[in-house]
Amino acid sequence: MKVKVDEMVCEANAVCMGLAPEVFDVDDDDQLHILLPEPPPEMRDRVRHAVRSCPKAALSLEE
């Protein structure tokens, strides 16, 4: 699994960071950073939930 962000769509709402802070981070400049682009198996369900919860649908998964 690989996590991707469409930076043109992302508004840095930080919903993903709230659901999976080990994988997503929003910095002080409202820029989303993917800390673990290929999360380990034990985190994948939480990451899928975070991706589905993005209010702008800016996140995607490559599986």
What CATH number has the domain bearing residue 35?
3.30.70.20
C-beta separation of 54 from 6 below 8 A: no
- Give the total number of structural domains in the chain: 1
Range of the domain at 19: 2-62
DSSP H helices, 1-63, are: 15-19, 44-53
C-beta separation of 50 from 20 below 8 A: yes
**Model pLDDT, residue 62:** 96
Q: How far apart are CA 58 and CA 53, in angstroms?
A: 10
**Model pLDDT, residue 59:** 98
**Model pLDDT, residue 1:** 95
Q: How far apart are CA 47 and CA 9, in angstroms?
A: 19
Residues of the chain with pLDDT under 50: none
DSSP 10: -
